Every structure is written in structure tokens, then in C-alpha cells.
């Protein structure tokens, strides 16, 4: 007995010693800068809450998993839902067929309103008709500017990708760019192609397209570097998403290029890069606003019969330019992941 207990304690001792050492090491390992502790307790704006009866709204998008942009749309929708006493059902699938099934799912749940994106309008036609037949109001957001009216949607919140591209192209002219490259992170994505086409339409210099593998950042970085080396005359890199703009900063320095960087869409790191001057400007379509307005509009329609644009005109949420002159006012919202 005694032997065994001594044996046990001999085996426990080193375990305790290791645990204690680990605890001490961890205690000594605190980071003095950065990290969660240094993050300011910035809380979300809290508006009052509506006293109207609880309703259910489905938001069905074509988001791919893990995309920062759609995360902001969803946050906007959630904020509106919280304020309006709405239960928000969010679902998403990048494949059109699956997205249509998700809308059908919402109809089956007998929701009070549906907000959808029309990345592939033809695939959504049938299911939108079913929703209308079931007397569920449907609004559109983000993509589908040219199709929402044809499909009989109540209203639309978003930006015209082509118009936004055109605005960016004009801005490039003002910046004196002669040769730019448009970096597409997902080959075959219609919205991204429209952005580049928009830039091409108004840009007076020469614009090349470059496809990169968006799921592999080292590959994105080296491909942009390669392009900048292949064509030394490139003076502007146009990224179609914030993370890709940030990566191209490294590419530009690796290539020893003097190219400047502009981008579509924002995130918190990007506002930092704009104030530092490593990235010149971003065109923001305000995804938070799209999600917020889409959900809020369904509440207004149910409780007061209002609808923006009267079923004729869309509500545009962009393009909003963010550059060094106004980045400070945007940065604090971007830090919370809402702008």
C-alpha cells in the first residue's frame, strides 16, 4: 500500500511541476501591446426597440463561407432586426440552385418578409413567383439591379457594380494613372467582372485583368508581384476586396514597383492602410446599409405600407469614396466590423 501511494505521488509530482511551470510561463507571456485587452470597449449604437408585434424576416444571400463583406451585410440586418423586434433568419449559399432552395425553405416557414440577393436572377425567378403567390413581400439587395423590377420585387437596395466601377475609373483618371491592373480573386464571378468592366469604361489609360487564387494568400501575393514585374508601366493596382488590397501592398514592395493601390470595399485594417497612405482610396458600397435597409424596409412595409422608390427606382448605397481626407470618421466604425 505504502509503496504504491509513494509511487503515485512520485508520478504526480512532475505533472504538478510541469503544470506550475506552464502557468508561470503563461503568466509571463502576456503581450504588453495589442490584443483583446487593448481593444477599446466600443459598443454598438443601441437604438430604441420597436413595440410592434414580433415578425420573422428571412435574409437569403449568395455569400461564400468566411467572406468579410457578407459578414458586414449580416451585421446590418441583425441591427435592424434587433431594433424592429424582428426575428431574423439568415441563410446563404453561393450556388444558385441551393440559394433558391433556401428561399423555398423561408416560404415553407411562412415568414413575414424575404430579402434576397439576385446574383443569378434567372435561377431565382420561379421561387420569387412562389413567394409572391404566398403573399410574402420580397425585397432585393446587393446584386440584381437590372433584374429586381422584372422579377416583381418590392424594392431594391444596393449599388450598380458597373456604375461603381465607372466611378473608380474616373477617379483613376483624376489621380493621373495611365496603366492599371484589375485583380479578380474569383474567376467567373459576374459582379467582380462588372466592376472591372466599369473601370475599363471610364478609365482613359489601359486596364489589364489579372486572375488570382483568392483562397491562397501567398499565391495572390506572388501573382500580383509577377504581374508588376512583367509590366513595369503599371501605376495603379485595383483590388476588388479589402484583404486583396492589403496583400498587394506587399507585392508592390516586393516587385520594387511604384504602383499605387485602390480597392473596392472596406475593412478595419484597410482604413489603417489608407490613413498611413499605403493604400490610396477605397470605394465602399456600404454593405451594412444594404442589410439594414433591406430588413428595416420590410418592417416599414408591414407596419406602415411604405416602400422606397415606389417599386420603380432602386435605393443606391454606394459608391462612397473613402480616402485620406475622410478615413478618420469611417475608421472607428470599421474597427467594429460594421463599415
Partner 1 sequence: MTMTQQAEPAVTRPPAPGPRATDGRTAQRPLVLRLLARPEVGVFLGAVAVFVFFLIAAPAVRQGSSMATVLYQSSTIGIMALPVALLMIGGEFDLSSGVAVVSSALTASMLSYQLSMNIWVGVVVALLVSLAIGAFNGWMVVRTGLPSFLVTLGTFLILQGVNLAVTKMITGNVATDDISNMDGFDQARALFASSFDIGGVQVKITVFYWLVFAALATWILLRTKYGNWIFAVGGNKDSARAVGVPVKFTKITLFMGVGLGAWFIGMHQLFSFNTVQSGEGVGQELIYIAAAVIGGCLLTGGYGSAIGPVFGAFMFGMVNQGIVYAGWNPDWFKAFLGVMLLGAVLINLWVSRTATRR
Binding site for partner 1 (CB under 8 A): 26, 29-39, 64-68, 71, 187, 208-211, 213, 215-219, 221-223, 225-227, 229-231, 243, 246-247, 250, 254-256, 267-269, 272, 337
| Residue 276 main-chain phi, psi, to 5 deg | -75, -20
> CB-wise, 57 or 249, nearer to partner 1?
249
Quote the CA–CA distance of 225 and 249 in Å, as a whole number. 10
> CB-wise, 39 or 108, nearer to partner 1?
39
> CB-wise, 219 or 325, nearer to partner 1?
219
> CB-wise, 254 or 323, nearer to partner 1?
254
Q: Are 115 and 77 contacting, i.e. CB atoms less than 8 angstroms apart?
A: yes
**Smallest separation, CB 190 to partner 1 (Å):** 14
Quote the CA–CA distance of 113 and 293 in Å, as a whole number. 13
DSSP code of residue 71: H
**Smallest separation, CB 117 to partner 1 (Å):** 17
> CB-wise, 71 or 175, nearer to partner 1?
71
Q: Which residues of 194-203 are buried (b: 16+ CB within 10 A; e: fewer)?
A: bbbbbbbebb
Sheet holding 320-323, edge to edge: 206-211, 179-184, 236-239, 260-264, 281-284, 320-323
**Smallest separation, CB 205 to partner 1 (Å):** 16
> CB-wise, 34 or 53, nearer to partner 1?
34
Q: Are 205 and 234 contacting, i.e. CB atoms less than 8 angstroms apart?
A: no
Q: Using alpha carbons, list the distances in angstroms from residue 296 to 47, 132, 292, 299, 303.
A: 13, 19, 6, 5, 11
**Smallest separation, CB 275 to partner 1 (Å):** 14
> CB-wise, 167 or 242, nearer to partner 1?
242
> CB-wise, 50 or 335, nearer to partner 1?
335
- 266-270: long-range contacts, CB 8 A cutoff, minimum separation 24: 266/242, 266/322, 266/330, 266/334, 266/339, 267/68, 267/242, 267/243, 267/334, 267/337, 268/331, 268/334, 268/335, 268/336, 268/337, 269/242, 270/242, 270/245, 270/246, 270/334
**Smallest separation, CB 304 to partner 1 (Å):** 32
| Residue 216 main-chain phi, psi, to 5 deg | -135, 95
**Smallest separation, CB 252 to partner 1 (Å):** 13
**Smallest separation, CB 247 to partner 1 (Å):** 6
**Smallest separation, CB 130 to partner 1 (Å):** 30
Q: What angle do CA 150, 162, 234 make, to 5 degrees?
A: 160
| Residue 215 main-chain phi, psi, to 5 deg | -90, 0
Amino acid at each position: 500500500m505504502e509503496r504504491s501511494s509513494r509511487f503515485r505521488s512520485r508520478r504526480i509530482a512532475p505533472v504538478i511541476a510541469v503544470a506550475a511551470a506552464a502557468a508561470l510561463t503563461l503568466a509571463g507571456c502576456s503581450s504588453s501591446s495589442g490584443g483583446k485587452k487593448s481593444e477599446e470597449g466600443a459598443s454598438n449604437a443601441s437604438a430604441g426597440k420597436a413595440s410592434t408585434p414580433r415578425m420573422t424576416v428571412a435574409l437569403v444571400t449568395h455569400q461564400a463561407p468566411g467572406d468579410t463583406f457578407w459578414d458586414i451585410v449580416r451585421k446590418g440586418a441583425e441591427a435592424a432586426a434587433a431594433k424592429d423586434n424582428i426575428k431574423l433568419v439568415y441563410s446563404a449559399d453561393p450556388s444558385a440552385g441551393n440559394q433558391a432552395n433556401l428561399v423555398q425553405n423561408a416560404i415553407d416557414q411562412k415568414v413575414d418578409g424575404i430579402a434576397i440577393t439576385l446574383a443569378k436572377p434567372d435561377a431565382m425567378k420561379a421561387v420569387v413567383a412562389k413567394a409572391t403567390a404566398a403573399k410574402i413581400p420580397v425585397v432585393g439587395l446587393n446584386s440584381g439591379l437590372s433584374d429586381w423590377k422584372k422579377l416583381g420585387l418590392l424594392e431594391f437596395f444596393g449599388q450598380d457594380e458597373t456604375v461603381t466601377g465607372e466611378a473608380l475609373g474616373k477617379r483613376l483618371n483624376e489621380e493621373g494613372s495611365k496603366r492599371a491592373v484589375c485583380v479578380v480573386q474569383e474567376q467567373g464571378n459576374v459582379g467582380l467582372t462588372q466592376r472591372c468592366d466599369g473601370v475599363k469604361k471610364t478609365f482613359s489609360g489601359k486596364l489589364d485583368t489579372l486572375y488570382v487564387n483568392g483562397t491562397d494568400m501567398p499565391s495572390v501575393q506572388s501573382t500580383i508581384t509577377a504581374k508588376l514585374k512583367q509590366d513595369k508601366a503599371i501605376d495603379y493596382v485595383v483590388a476588388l476586396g479589402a484583404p486583396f488590397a492589403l496583400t498587394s501592398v506587399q507585392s508592390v514592395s516586393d516587385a520594387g514597383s511604384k504602383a499605387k493601390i485602390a480597392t473596392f470595399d472596406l475593412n478595419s485594417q484597410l482604413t489603417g492602410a489608407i490613413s498611413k497612405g499605403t493604400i490610396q482610396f477605397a470605394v465602399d458600397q456600404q454593405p451594412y446599409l444594404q442589410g439594414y435597409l433591406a430588413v428595416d424596409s420590410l418592417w416599414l412595409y408591414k407596419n406602415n405600407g411604405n416602400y422606397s422608390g415606389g417599386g420603380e427606382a432602386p435605393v443606391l448605397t454606394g459608391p462612397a469614396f473613402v480616402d485620406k481626407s475622410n478615413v478618420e470618421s469611417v475608421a472607428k466604425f470599421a474597427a467594429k466590423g460594421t463599415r
